[in-house]
DNA sequence: AACAAATGTCACACATTTGAGAAATATTTC
DNA sequence: GAAATATTTCTCAAATGTGTGACATTTGTT
C-alpha cells in the first residue's frame, strides 16, 4: 500500500470518527492531498468508509490477539489488553462499537466476527480465571467489566489530550484505577 | 415549548451526537416529523445546533448543581454527581466535550463557562476534601479523576444498552467500581 | 359543524458535495 | 535527463442537501 493511501485512511478514520458525514474535502485536507487524489485511491465514499472499518478491524484485532498471546498469566494478559486498547486510540472505540451496535448483524461465519468472538471469549475467560483466583470481584459480571474496560480506555485517550502528564504515567494511572475498580 | 419542538431537539441531540453533519432529514425522521415542520421551528441548521447545545448546557448544569447542593457530605456529593451524569445520558459527554475541546474559547465572562467552572471547581474541591479525609487516593490528580468520572458515565450508558440488568443495578456497579478505583 | 392551529405534501431555487475527465506539473526511478 | 508514475489544477455534470412558498390535510376546541 502506498504512503498516500495509508495517510488518507488514517485521516479518514480520524475525521469520520467524530463526524461520519463530514465532506471528503475535510479528509483530503487532513491527509494533505487534493480531493482528486483521494478519488483516485477510493472509488467513492462508501469504499473509503469500508476500507477504514477494515483497517480498524485488523489493527485492533492484531494488537488484542498479540496481547492475549504474550503471556500465560491472566493478570498480565488483562493489563496488556488494556494497553493495547489504549495504543489503538480512537480506533478501539470504533472497533468496539462496530460489534456492539444494534444494526450490526453478528454472525460467526463472518471472519471479522469470528475473530471478535475469539477476543471476547478470551476476555471472558481471563475475567473468570481472575475471579477464581480471588483477584477480581466475583459480583461483577464479565459484561460489566468489559464496558468498564472500554470506558477506561476512552478516559485514558481523553486524559492524554488535556493533561501534561507523560503517556506512560497516564497508562499506569489507567491500569491502577482499573484493577482496583474490579478488585474483590 | 411545544411537544414537537422538544422532540426535534431530543432527536437532534441524539443524531448530531454521533454525526454532526448528518442531514436534517435524519433528524426529522428520528423525531417523526417532516423536514418542513422542522424548518418551521428552526430557521436553519445553525439555529438547531445552537439550541441543542443550549439545551444540553442547561439540563446538565441543572442536574450537576442540584447534585452538588443536595448534601454537605463530599462523598454523597460525588456519588450524586455520578448519577446525575448517568441520568443525563449522551448529553453529558457532549457537555463535557464542549468545554474540553481545543477550539472552544473558554472565558469566564461567558455565562455557560462560568457555570462550568463552578461545577469543575466544586468537583475539584470534593476530590481534594476526600483526599484529606483519606477516602481518595492522594496520588491521583483531580484531572485524572475527572476524565475517569466521565469514562465511567460513558461505560454505564453503554452497559444500559447491552445488558439485561436493571438501570439501578448498573448504576450501583458504576459507583462501586468508581469509588474503588479512586480509593487510597 | 365551524374554526384555528399544527402538520404534511409538493414544487422550486439555490448551495454544497460528489465523482470523474483532460491536461499541466511535480516527483520518483532507472 | 528521460521515462514512468503520482499529484495537482481546472473543469463540469450529476446527486444530494437546504430553506421556503402555496396549499391540502389533520387535529383539537368550542
Nucleotides of strand C within 7 Å of the protein's CB atoms:
6-11, 16-22
In this complex, is the C-beta atom of A152 within 8 Å of any C-beta atom belonging to chain B?
yes
Using alpha carbons, select from A134, A141, A149, A124 the residue that is nearest to residue A183.
Answer: A134
* Residue-by-residue pLDDT tens, chain A, 184 positions: 788 999 999 999 999 988 899 999 999 999 999 999 999 999 999 999 999 999 998 898 999 999 999 999 999 999 999 999 999 987 888 787 777 765 566 777 777 778 888 889 999 999 999 999 999 999 999 999 999 999 999 999 989 988 889 999 999 999 999 999 999 9
pLDDT in tens, B3-45: 899 999 999 999 998 889 999 999 999 999 999 999 999 999 9
Mean pLDDT across B63-90: 94
Cell 454523597 maps to which residue? B76
Q: In whole angstroms, what is the distance from residue B166 CA to residue B147 CA? A: 25
Residue B99 has pLDDT above 90, yes or no: no
Q: Is the confidence at residue B172, as pLDDT, over 90?
A: yes
Q: What is the pLDDT of residue A93?
A: 80
pTM of the complete model: 0.88
Q: Residue A184 has which C-alpha cell?
A: 474483590
User: Residue B103: what pLDDT?
Assistant: 59
Half-sphere exposure of A108 (CA within 13 A, CB side): 5
Chain B contact set for A158 (CB, 8 A): 100, 147, 150-151
CB atoms within 10 A of CB B83: 18
Show the beta-strand stretches assigned E in A29-131: none
Q: Give the closest residue to A128 by CA, choosing from A171, A182, A85.
A: A182
Q: Long-range contacts made by residues A106-114, C-beta under 8 angstroms, separation at least 24?
A: A112/A57, A112/A61
B170 to chain A, any CB pair closer than 8 A? The answer is yes
Q: Hey, what's the cell of A127? A: 475475567
Query: What pLDDT score was predicted for residue A102?
Result: 55
What is the pLDDT at residue B107?
Answer: 74
- Structure confidence at residue B110 (pLDDT): 78
Angle at A151 between CA B23 and CA B176, to 5 degrees: 130
C-alpha cell read off for A165: 502528564
As a whole number of angstroms, the distance between CA A6 and CA B10 comes to: 38
B34-76 residue pLDDT tens: 999 999 999 999 999 999 999 998 998 999 999 999 999 999 9
CA–CA dist A134, A158 (Å, integer): 31
Q: What is the pLDDT of residue A184?
A: 93
Give the closest of A21, A163, A180 to B181, CB-based: A180
Write the CA distances from A59 to A7, A14, A23, integer angstroms.
Answer: 15, 15, 25
Q: What does the mean pLDDT of chain B come to?
A: 91
Query: CA–C1' distance A103–C21 (Å)?
Result: 38
List the single residue in A with minimal CA-CA distance to B184.
Answer: A180
Distance CA B110, CA B126 (A): 24
The predicted pLDDT at position A9 comes to 96
pLDDT at A103: 57
Identify which has the larger pLDDT, A115 or B152.
B152
Distances (CA, A) of A54 to A5, B89, B133, B162: 14, 30, 49, 24
Amino acid at each position: 500500500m502506498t504512503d498516500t493511501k495509508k495517510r488518507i485512511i488514517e485521516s479518514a478514520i480520524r475525521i469520520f470518527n467524530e463526524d461520519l458525514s463530514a465532506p471528503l474535502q475535510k479528509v483530503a485536507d487532513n491527509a494533505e492531498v487534493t480531493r482528486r487524489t483521494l478519488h483516485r485511491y477510493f472509488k467513492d465514499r462508501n469504499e473509503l468508509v469500508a476500507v477504514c472499518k477494515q483497517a480498524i478491524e485488523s489493527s485492533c484485532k492484531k494488537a488484542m490477539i498479540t496481547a492475549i498471546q504474550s503471556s500465560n498469566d491472566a493478570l498480565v494478559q488483562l493489563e496488556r489488553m488494556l494497553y493495547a486498547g489504549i495504543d489503538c486510540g480512537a480506533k478501539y472505540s470504533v472497533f468496539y462499537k462496530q460489534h456492539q451496535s444494534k444494526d450490526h448483524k453478528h454472525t460467526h461465519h463472518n471472519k471479522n466476527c469470528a475473530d471478535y468472538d475469539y477476543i471476547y471469549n478470551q476476555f471472558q475467560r481471563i475475567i473468570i480465571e481472575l475471579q477464581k483466583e480471588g483477584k477480581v470481584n466475583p459480583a461483577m459480571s464479565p459484561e460489566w467489566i468489559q464496558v468498564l474496560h472500554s470506558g477506561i480506555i476512552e478516559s485514558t485517550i481523553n486524559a492524554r489530550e488535556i493533561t501534561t502528564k507523560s503517556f506512560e504515567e497516564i497508562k499506569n494511572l489507567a491500569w491502577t484505577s482499573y484493577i482496583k475498580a474490579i478488585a474483590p
